[in-house]
Amino acid sequence: MLTFILKRVANGLLMLFAVSFLSFFLMHLGAGNVARLMLGLEATADMVAQKNHELGLDKPFIDQYLNWLAGAVRLDLGNAWSMPDAVSNVLFPRLAITLQIVSITTLVAIIVAIILGTVAAVFGGVIDRVVQFIGLVGFAVPGFLVAFFLAALFAIQIPLFNAVGYTQFSDDPYQWLRSVTLPVLALAFSGIASASNQVRGSVKDALEMDYVRTLRARGLSFNRVVYKHVLRNSAGPALSIIGVQFVGMLGGSILIEQIFAIPGLGPIAVSATAMSDIPMIMGLVLITAMIVIAMNLIVDLLSAALNPKVRLS
């Protein structure tokens, strides 16, 4: 088990390195364009060259990368181009808010999906069709449309929740709830849709296992077999979707935060993109990749812990 963990951690670090190198490389392939994008079409070639020098873009690529990497391992992600501040100073406080929203959403989505998926698989019939239909709509309709709908209905027409802004939980728990409810619901919608279908599938598979029949032949009731044995065995496959969900929600949160004016990573990602702030975007890429890889690692370890074959080896 220990070697398994070490292997996965090493693999994750290697992956992080690969992602950072590749994105740095690809972004610097296009970086020749950046000074021009920043200065506009009227700028002279001299001004562009001057800007490139200022930004350090005239140095060899490998120097730039090693320089960046040396800082990154100490969590120093350089200075932003679009504002007079260090990238890490800007990103880390915002990361806390985004992580909070995304984690709550993942939790909500998984709980609802487990209930819906299990009920659909066990009872079948009309309930099953309804869950499948929700799954289809949730999969097809982009989350930000759901956000518009929720904002228009539950913040503007019926002002139950806040349409914009964010209050810290420690400042005012009630206002906090009013500010995060709609973003979480909007973000959770598509997650619930795809996750409930996955749970439904894995519960259905587990229900068809031979041991389910054998346990029932020993006198255990259907419910008991479902709640103890079927759910336990479908937990593994269901768990693996949390990782995928989390990645999707991190992307979706950029849009949702912009819509609800939540000061997370979303708004800064949008403004940094518009202003060609490469260090900020590199920081964002690194942080996102770190979270995703860490999440996958956690999911891997949890599924290993659930599976006696892996746990005991």
Classify residue 79 by its DSSP letter: B
Q: Using CB under 8 A, which residues numbered 114 to 143 contact another protein?
A: 136-137, 139-142
Residue carrying structure tokens 């005239």: 58
Q: Using CB under 8 A, which residues numbered 35 to 54 contact another protein?
A: 37
CA-based nearest residue to 201, from 128, 298, 110, 105: 128
Residue 115 contacts residue 230 (beta carbons within 8 Å): no
Classify residue 48 by its DSSP letter: H
Nearer to another protein, 45 or 140 (CB): 140
Q: Does 213 bind another protein (CB under 8 A)?
A: yes
Q: Using CB under 8 A, which residues numbered 263 to 292 contact another protein?
A: 269-270, 272-274, 276-278, 281-282, 284-285, 288-289, 292
Q: Using CB under 8 A, which residues numbered 15 to 34 contact another protein?
A: 15-16, 18-19, 22-23, 26-31, 33-34
CB of residue 171 vs another protein: minimum separation in angstroms? 26
Give how far Cα 26 sits from Cα of 7, 131, 187, 251, Å.
Answer: 28, 42, 30, 20
Stretch that binds another protein, among 83-91, 104-112, 177-185, 242-250 (CB under 8 A): 242-250
Q: Does 188 bind another protein (CB under 8 A)?
A: no
CB of residue 147 vs another protein: minimum separation in angstroms? 10
Element (H, E) at 57: none
DSSP H helical ranges for the chain: 2-29, 34-39, 45-55, 61-72, 87-123, 125-140, 143-151, 173-207, 210-217, 222-224, 231-259, 265-274, 278-306, 308-311
CB of residue 179 vs another protein: minimum separation in angstroms? 17
Q: Which residues pair with 86 in a beta bridge?
A: 79
Stretch that binds another protein, among 64-72, 111-119, 169-177, 216-224 (CB under 8 A): 216-224
Amino acid at 147: A
What are 98's two structure tokens?
Answer: 């985004």
- Which residue in the set 97, 182, 199, 215 belongs to the binding site for another protein (CB under 8 A)? 215
Nearer to another protein, 110 or 268 (CB): 268
Stretch that binds another protein, among 41-49, 88-96, 110-118, 149-157 (CB under 8 A): 149-157
Rounded distance between C-alpha atoms, residue 134 and residue 150, angstroms: 17
Q: Using CB under 8 A, which residues numbered 56 to 115 contact another protein?
A: none
CB of residue 115 vs another protein: minimum separation in angstroms? 21
Q: Does 229 bind another protein (CB under 8 A)?
A: yes
Q: Which residues contact 45 (CB under 8 A, 6 or more apart)?
A: none
Amino acid at 50: Q
Q: Using CB under 8 A, which residues numbered 294 to 313 contact another protein?
A: 306-309, 312
CB of residue 193 vs another protein: minimum separation in angstroms? 10
CB of residue 292 vs another protein: minimum separation in angstroms? 5
What are 217's two structure tokens?
Answer: 């032949």
